[in-house]
Structure 1
Amino acid sequence: MGLMRVLPFAKHLLSEHVTDGSVAIDMTAGNGHDTLFLAERVGSGHVYAFDVQEAAVKATTDRITAANLLDRVSVVHDSHDTVKAVVADETRPITAAVFNLGYLPGSDKSITTTGNTTIDALEQLLDVMAVGGVVVVVIYHGHESGKVERDEVLTYVESLDQKRAGVLRYGFVNQINHPPFIVAIEKRA
């Protein structure tokens, strides 16, 4: 077996933390691929999927509906930095969350995630997630705002107290065109 590429590794980390009855969160629903992946795994649990763009909300809702899994998913047309308020009444353990930073593929590239809302959302997740839960952040930094967000997110995660969270960085370092990489955060306390 060779080295696992970034996106399969992200799915591997998520699948290790999502079981029947757990709650997972897609912090950047986009076209709904991660939302569907999570919905297929939560069983009696639930998935919350956030996006600020109407096109993403529609694409995600359509994908989940086509798979007959809409009863397991709440698609939230809002920023991911509202996550704590949205899941405030959730009683099941929140064990996994995923971000794909950047812009919605095939859409307006000027609408991107930003470091300030991403960091705010990460801070909220660390408050509400179960101990042992994982947040997988896929960082796309091949565009100008992506480079700024990458640096801000890395500064934030590198400052996390290791007693509160373990942080892993995974990615290929010898590829051209700024390949995406993963930051995985495991809540410890």
Structure 2
Amino acid sequence: MRPRHIPSILQFTKLIWQQVAASWNDTETAAVAVDGTVGNGHDTLFLAELVGEKGHVYGFDVQASGLANAQERLESASMAERVTLFHDGHEKVAERLPEETVVAGAMYNLGYLPGSDHAVITRAHTTIASLQALLPMLAANGVVTVHIYTGHEGGSAEGDEIQAWAATLSWKDFRVGRYDFPNKELNKEHLLVIEKL
């Protein structure tokens, strides 16, 4: 099979994050990242690697089974000390993070936890509440990525609401980009990238 030149959404997300993390090297401040949807911990581990030894990741999930899998994954990679996991909804981000925390970046991977109850899904109202709480904590040039899935019940409505909300963000304060494949017929996905100016 010939290599594809257009990256998948997952590949594009990682490219964005590697670029963001490269900018952290220009500062002496330890980077703080948020994983708004820990799931089984794949993104959490990715962020823990990016923040480095001085940085820290705060992760949120409502499902204990996912958090247990994430903890095991982090321990296996010797990254557990860089991460604090909360068994809580991501809308509690402002309450749970230490006061005056400045967030370098945040990642949200919406939908359901693979291998678990597909009825437990992220919801637009809690995701938007989380983003609204997080954006004031975001550093200048801080980035938030939101991977939206529509292949499950409620996914399209959630995606539409979040994209409509993101479109209302002030151009003076934020840039919002979107990456997707308009000719993908099934299980459409969208990646929102929000950068604070």
1:57 Cα deviation after fit? 0.8
User: Does residue 1:68 correspond to 2:75, yes or no?
Assistant: no
Point out 4+ residue stretches in structure 1 off by more than 3 angstroms: none
User: Does residue 1:152 correspond to 2:161, yes or no?
Assistant: yes
* CA offset digits 1:26-47 (Å, max 9, x no partner): 1000010000001011111100
Aligned residue for 2:144, secondary structure, equals strand
1:176 Cα deviation after fit? 2.5
1:185 is aligned to 194
Q: What is the percentage of aligned positions where both structures have the same residue?
A: 42
TM-score normalised to structure 1 length: 0.94
Aligned residue for 2:140, secondary structure, equals coil
1:10 is aligned to 13
Distance 2:49 2:100 in 1: 19
Distance 2:183 2:139 in 1: 35
Instruction: Give unmatched runs, 5+ long, in structure 1.
Output: none
2:177 to 168, 172, 184: 168
2:91 is aligned to 81
1:135 is aligned to 144
Counterpart AA for 1:17 = V
Counterpart AA for 2:93 = V
How many residues end up aligned between the 2 structures? 187
Distance 2:95 2:18 in 1: 25
Aligned residue for 2:154, secondary structure, equals helix
User: Does residue 1:94 correspond to 2:97, yes or no?
Assistant: no
1:179 Cα deviation after fit? 2.9
Distance 2:112 2:138 in 1: 25
Aligned residue for 1:123, secondary structure, equals helix
1:50 Cα deviation after fit? 0.6
Distance 2:96 2:109 in 1: 20
Counterpart AA for 1:102 = G
1:89 Cα deviation after fit? 2.5
* CA offset digits 1:32-81 (Å, max 9, x no partner): 00000010111111001110000111011110011111110001110000
1:35 to 25, 36, 44: 44
Distance 1:146 1:175 in 2: 15
Instruction: Give unmatched runs, 5+ long, in structure 2.
Output: none
1:83 Cα deviation after fit? 0.6
2:126 to 113, 117, 121: 117
1:144 Cα deviation after fit? 2.1
Distance 1:142 1:152 in 2: 16
Distance 1:81 1:14 in 2: 22
TM-score normalised to structure 2 length: 0.91
